[in-house]
Structure 1
Amino acid sequence: MHLQLRSKDKKDFPGLFDITAAGHILSDETIGDGVREIEEELGIAVSFEELISIGVIKDQIHENGFFDNERCHVFLYNAETTIETLYKLQKEEVSGVVTADFQDFYKLCRGLEKKIAVEGFGVAEDGRKTAAGKTITTNDLVPHSPEYLLQVTDLISKKLKDRKSFWK
């Protein structure tokens, strides 16, 4: 499970971990056009056909005068390399990427674990990648609605149980 660390320069939720990648589709775009967010934020050139849809999930974030109501199209991507070689981050958007064991993340989202270990890398001001390992809690995550995180992890879990269909 890969999580991106939002840049400290982001207006909304700076320095918090979020799903990788996230973005808004413009009114004149298709869902397939959303792959541009992946390349813009993470530097991964991926085609829409390489993504595995796991559903559309409603999410609401209402916090400190911030209101965000979305229908999130959620996809999985089978990255067959390490995160250090996979990602070329746009540091204005993303300042690091970490991996978490999916079962640990699943338990964290359900309150069955209070904290989990993650490892990955951050990007220094000079663009160098630096190793990053730490322990995170739900307070370190963008405050998606609890239902959103439960649904996302349920759908991923179901897809992983049927690995044959997931890994094509």
Structure 2
Amino acid sequence: MRRWWAAQRAQEQRVERAAGRLNVAERFNVAERFNVAARHVLFRDEARLRRGARGVTTAPLRSKCATLGPMAAQDGDEPFDIFDRTGKPLGVRKARRLVHRDGDWHRSVHVWVVLERESDGRRSDAEPWVLFQQRSPDKDTWPGAFEVAVSGHYRAGEDLAEALREAEEEIGLPLAPGDVIRLGTRRIVDDHAPGIVDRELQDVLLATTRRALAAFRPDPDEVTALLALPLHAALRLVRGEVPSVTGLMRQAPDERGAVKIAPRDVRLDEFVAARDGYYERALDTIRRRAAGVAPALWTLG
């Protein structure tokens, strides 16, 4: 699996080198010379291209890449290690689609991200803000719903350092094991979607950052938007004390590369369902840590 990803990265680097020798309007042709990984590279660099090429439109780039068809928000053949309910490895590897079909236990990682600055970038001396992502509409589970800022699976053979790649892939936030604090562990079964039984052993982690909301770089194939909520408002929402709260939403850049941030009212039913009290447990742990308390690790499920 690592060899496959190394080959993918080598291919992306060839795309980058080839694209670097072209003007913006020509770069869309790269997508026909390489596989669809080219589109990921080109779209990832699109804002930079706009800044560096005055008067050159990137519309042909989007138009041409769109002809490749929609990219899947996940790889159904991605291999997972299989575990029993207690977390004991069973020595079996299966493709993602088969794991979700058969309801096998597998590992995943959730990273809660707290903004140490206000969402507009100013230093915050008040309460922290908590970051959430809006899932891509192409996800096989909970499409379009809000959830924890970073969520992803351990691929077969991966450790935590490798699994934390999800943070950079999904929202553009590089993280290493030393950058996160473990909050607890969650065991969850989600069978709301027809034909999918998702049994996850989730490592629940916390990361803090001084980045402003506009500085994040969500992957449009994975994440539709980012939402920041004041911590206490988020707690009131998940406890059912209020029907909705107001946060700030970061939308994808427009055609000029400008990032739009605007107020957004959000309801609890717009989030991935968590009937085990997960959101309240995690947010309350974050609140206590912000107050200088070090709560014990917890287990849900």
TM bucket, shorter chain: 0.7 to 0.9
Contact kept in structure 2, 1:84 and 1:120, CA below 8 Å: no
Q: 1:141: which partner in 2?
A: 271
Q: Which among 198, 217, 227 is matched to residue 98 of structure 1?
A: 227
Q: Equivalent residue of 2:208, what SS? A: coil
Secondary structure at the residue paired with 2:183? Answer: strand
1:28 aligns with 2:193: no
Deviates more, 1:96-105 or 1:139-148: 139-148
Which consecutive residues of structure 1, in runs of 5 or more, have no partner in the other structure?
none
Partner residue in 1 for 2:177: 48
Query: Does the aligned pair in 2 maintain the 1:56–1:71 contact within 8 Å?
Result: yes
Three-state SS of the structure 2 residue aligned to 1:78 is strand
Matched with 1:152 is 282
Long gaps (5+) in structure 2: 1-129, 295-301
The residue that corresponds to 2:118 in the other structure is none
In 2, Cα distance between equivalents of 1:132 and 1:22: 24
Q: TM-score, normalised by structure 2?
A: 0.50
Relative to its length, the structure with more strand (as a share) is: 1
Runs of 4+ in 1 over 6 A off after TM superposition: none
Counterpart residue identity of residue 223, structure 2: V
Q: TM-score, normalised by structure 1?
A: 0.86
SS at match of 2:141: coil
Contact 1:4 1:20 in 2 (8 A): yes
Q: Which shifted more, 152-161 or 31-40? A: 152-161
1:37 CA displacement? 0.3
> Deviation digits for residues 70-91 of structure 1, max 9, x if unmatched?
2221111111121111x11110
Q: Does 1:84 align with 2:205?
A: no
Q: Does the CA-based 8 Å contact 1:4-1:94 persist in structure 2?
A: yes
Aligned to 1:162: 292
How far does residue 69 in structure 1 lie from its aligned partner after superposition?
Answer: 2.1
Q: Which has the higher contact order (CA 8 A, sep 6+)?
A: 1
- Using the alignment, how far apart are the partners of 1:7 and 1:24 within structure 2? 16
Q: CA separation in 1, counterparts of 2:271 and 2:261?
A: 20
Give the percent of matched residue pairs that are identical in Structure 1 and Structure 2.
Answer: 21
Mapped to 2, the partners of 1:118 and 1:140 lie a distance apart of 13
Q: Confirm or deny: 8 A CA contact 2:247 2:263 kept in the other structure.
A: yes
Q: What is the alpha-carbon distance in structure 1 between the residues aligned to residue 279 and residue 214 of structure 2?
A: 26
Aligned positions, number: 164
Question: Structure 1: how far apart are the matches of 2:254 and 2:145?
Answer: 18
- Give the Å deviation of 1:150: 2.6
Relative distance call for 1:158 and 1:62 in structure 2 (3 A) is: farther
- For residues 119-146 of structure 1, what are the alpha-carbon distances to aligned partners after superposition, in whole Å with 9 as ceiling and x for unaligned? 0311157464222321111111011334
Larger radius of gyration: 2
Deviation at 1:58, TM superposition (A): 2.3
Asked whether the 8 Å contact 2:152–2:163 carries over to 1, the reply is yes
